[in-house]
Amino acid sequence: MPTAHLTLDPRAVVGTVNRRLFGSFVEHLGRCVYDGIYEPGHPTADAHGFRGDVVELVRELGVSAIRYPGGNFVSGYRWEDGVGPRDQRPRRLDLAWHSTETNEVGLDEFATWLELVGSELMYAVNLGTRGVLEALDVLEYANIRSGTRLSDWRIANGRTEPHRVGMWCLGNEMDGPWQLGHGTADEYGALAAKTARAMRQVDPDLELVVCGSSGSAMPTFGAWERTVLEHSYDDVDYISCHAYYEPKNGDLDSFLASAVDMDGFIETVVSIADEVKAARGSDKTINISFDEWNVWYMQRHLAEEKITDVEQWPVAPRLLEDSYSVADAVVFGSLLISLLRHADRVTSASLAQLVNVIAPIMTEPGGPAWRQTTFFPFAETSRLATGEALALALTSDTHETEQYGKVPLVDAAATHDNGATAVFLVNRSTTEPAAVTIDVAALGGVGLVSARTLSDSDITAANTLGDPERVGLADNTSAVIADGILSVTLPPVSWTALSVATR
């Protein structure tokens, strides 16, 4: 049986876990908004048309900030189409997803929904087909109290109080050739810097995210970050990273090790940001907003769902509706481990996305909402990972993978908050359980609060409309503490969360 050992030392602090690490993303894409969070005819819908069952699940998931309204969608979006009387809102072509946008939901409605779920708004401006002026306009509409044309328009639309949006994304994936308005790093970097400076003339305290690469495999990765930051370093606070993982050619071992890529991605972007910092002699540090991450069976979707017919622009079609297996959720949980161990520099992250579209929550029109397998690692980590992320002394047996070479079979991250410590573990072996020992002596006398594992003898098992509770977390009864050592056995292809507290 493979083994792993780790030592927990509450003094070995990586950094404070920012609540924004547990953010998510709602894009006007497929059925995320329409038939997802918003379905006026649904039996659980409130007076605004928001599904109550979805609100409940989002609360249970423990989501902090939510990025909105895109995504690729934002690069063709006119924010003003989505405010004011609904019956006067235009229907528009959404070129990113070859759909019709009805504009029934816009900034004001989304802010109302966020109040229901208790999350913060992170707003993306359109720097694809629009620019500085439109960014200033939406900022004025959202954040200025009153007494100007756009703030008074918001008030006339029924929103007396400003939305007070603190965090703003300067466009989306502008490095991607698929992005409306995509250009060079120089072009985008200059536009992002101009926009940031203008927005800061309105409010110097805004937190601004400049677009980094849409994946570590992008041909411009690295050079893009450097150039964009050379333009915008003084004017922004974060650079974004996006990453989606899927098995390639059925290679499960490499897929289960996807966090190795995420680790490298984060560390490379941190190095580049710090290099630009040093070259400028700046005393300001740029952090990462990992504002799109997930498992996504992208190749399958792009091949099967591409609509090109100029006569066909469906409203809220079923797009990117991945059904997640146990193995997917284990990879997903390991990505959370990667984010946590970089908590000093990844201070914001958004699980892409939230409902129906590559999502932890699925819905049927007029029917139920249910938790996908990925729901569980997210909810458990969001609930338990508070305080400081710890640097772990981890040793583990290893195995070879085609994509990443030799990787540890067991990976882990831990957090410590006063007397409460949480450990998150993954076993990447597809055949064998792993025996893990954790030295908890430095925590003082601690007792086990909970040990819960996601695993299944069928790693392809998923939660579906017909069987919505097939997969969930189960108590891991192997976990025991004796003589300052916590021992636990991790089933093959599993994700586990342990919680211990001072006695």
Of the two residues 72 and 421, which places its CB atom closer to ligand AHR in the complex? Answer: 72
Cis peptide before 71 (omega within 30 of 0): yes
Query: In angstroms, what is the minimal distance from the CB of 353 to ligand AHR?
Result: 6
- Which residue in this structure is represented by tokens 């009864």? 477
Based on the shown chain and the rule CB under 6 A, indicate whether residue 292 belongs to the binding site for ligand AHR.
yes
Of the two residues 348 and 496, which places its CB atom closer to ligand AHR in the complex? Answer: 348
Please give the distance of CA 466 from its chain centroid, rounded to a whole number: 27
Cis peptide before 353 (omega within 30 of 0): yes
Q: Which stretch binds ligand AHR (CB under 6 A): 36-44, 68-76, 364-372, 434-442?
A: 68-76
Query: In angstroms, what is the minimal distance from the CB of 298 to ligand AHR?
Result: 8
Q: Say which of 225, 292, 380, 388 is annotated catalytic.
A: 292
- Which residue in this structure is represented by tokens 């006063």? 418
Based on the shown chain and the rule CB under 6 A, indicate whether residue 173 belongs to the binding site for ligand AHR.
yes
Based on the shown chain and the rule CB under 6 A, indicate whether residue 352 belongs to the binding site for ligand AHR.
yes
Query: In angstroms, what is the minimal distance from the CB of 186 to ligand AHR?
Result: 21
- Which residue in this structure is represented by tokens 């799109």? 292
Query: In angstroms, what is the minimal distance from the CB of 134 to ligand AHR?
Result: 19
Of the two residues 44 and 100, which places its CB atom closer to ligand AHR in the complex? Answer: 100
Based on the shown chain and the rule CB under 6 A, indicate whether residue 27 belongs to the binding site for ligand AHR.
yes
Based on the shown chain and the rule CB under 6 A, indicate whether residue 70 belongs to the binding site for ligand AHR.
yes
Binding ligand AHR (rule: CB under 6 A), the pick from 353, 382, 401, 499 is 353
Per-residue interface string for the shown chain with ligand AHR, residues 223-262, x marking contact by CB under 6 A: ----------------------------------------
Query: In angstroms, what is the minimal distance from the CB of 61 to ligand AHR?
Result: 17
- Measured between alpha carbons, how far is 82 from 418 in angstroms, rounded to an integer? 45
Residues 6+ apart with CB under 8 A from 75: 96, 126, 127, 128, 129, 171, 172, 179, 180, 181
With CB under 6 A as the rule, give the number of residues binding ligand AHR: 11
Based on the shown chain and the rule CB under 6 A, indicate whether residue 71 belongs to the binding site for ligand AHR.
yes
Binding ligand AHR (rule: CB under 6 A), the pick from 119, 214, 232, 421 is 214
Query: In angstroms, what is the minimal distance from the CB of 81 to ligand AHR?
Result: 18
- Which residue in this structure is represented by tokens 């720097």? 127
Q: What is the dihedral of CA 452, 463, 349, 253, to 10 degrees?
A: 80
Paired residues of 488 in beta bridges: 436
292 is a catalytic site residue: yes
Based on the shown chain and the rule CB under 6 A, indicate whether residue 175 belongs to the binding site for ligand AHR.
no
Angle at the Cα of 486 from the Cα atoms of 480 and 488, rounded to 5 degrees? 65
Q: Please tell me whether residue 198 adopts helix, strand or coil conformation.
A: helix
Q: Say which of 173, 225, 380, 388 is annotated catalytic.
A: 173
Residues 6+ apart with CB under 8 A from 306: 98
Residues 6+ apart with CB under 8 A from 441: 484, 485
Query: In angstroms, what is the minimal distance from the CB of 73 to ligand AHR?
Result: 6
Of the two residues 225 and 292, which places its CB atom closer to ligand AHR in the complex? Answer: 292
Listing DSSP states for 29-50 in one string gives STTSTBTTTB-TTSTTB-TTSB
Query: In angstroms, what is the minimal distance from the CB of 357 to ligand AHR?
Result: 7
Q: Which stretch binds ligand AHR (CB under 6 A): 69-77, 218-226, 251-259, 408-416?
A: 69-77
- Measured between alpha carbons, how far is 292 from 87 in angstroms, rounded to an integer? 33
Of the two residues 172 and 463, which places its CB atom closer to ligand AHR in the complex? Answer: 172
What H or E segment, with its residue span, contains residue 285?
none
Of the two residues 335 and 407, which places its CB atom closer to ligand AHR in the complex? Answer: 335
Rounded alpha-carbon distances, angstroms, from residue 270 to 11, 15, 225: 23, 15, 10
Based on the shown chain and the rule CB under 6 A, indicate whether residue 109 belongs to the binding site for ligand AHR.
no
Q: Which stretch binds ligand AHR (CB under 6 A): 66-74, 110-118, 181-189, 201-209?
A: 66-74
Do 287 and 233 meet the contact criterion of CB atoms below 8 Å apart? no
Q: Which stretch binds ligand AHR (CB under 6 A): 9-17, 65-73, 123-131, 368-376?
A: 65-73
Buried b (16+ CB within 10 A) or exposed e, 301-330: beeeeeeeeeeebeebbebbbbebbbbbbb
Residue whose CB is nearest to ligand AHR in the complex, by number: 71
- DSSP annotation of 383 reads H
Of the two residues 363 and 496, which places its CB atom closer to ligand AHR in the complex? Answer: 363
Based on the shown chain and the rule CB under 6 A, indicate whether residue 23 belongs to the binding site for ligand AHR.
no
Residue spans of alpha helices (H) in 62-184: 107-117, 132-143, 149-156
- Measured between alpha carbons, how far is 26 from 359 in angstroms, rounded to an integer? 10
Interface with ligand AHR in residues 72-101 (CB under 6 A): 72
Of the two residues 83 and 180, which places its CB atom closer to ligand AHR in the complex? Answer: 180
173 is a catalytic site residue: yes
**Residue 103: left if φ>0, alpha if ψ -120 to 50, beta else—which one?**
left
Query: In angstroms, what is the minimal distance from the CB of 211 to ligand AHR?
Result: 10
Q: Where along the sequence are the contacts to ligand AHR (CB under 6 A)?
A: 27, 29, 70-72, 172-173, 214, 292, 352-353
Q: Give the residue numbers annotated as catalytic, written as ranges.
A: 173, 292
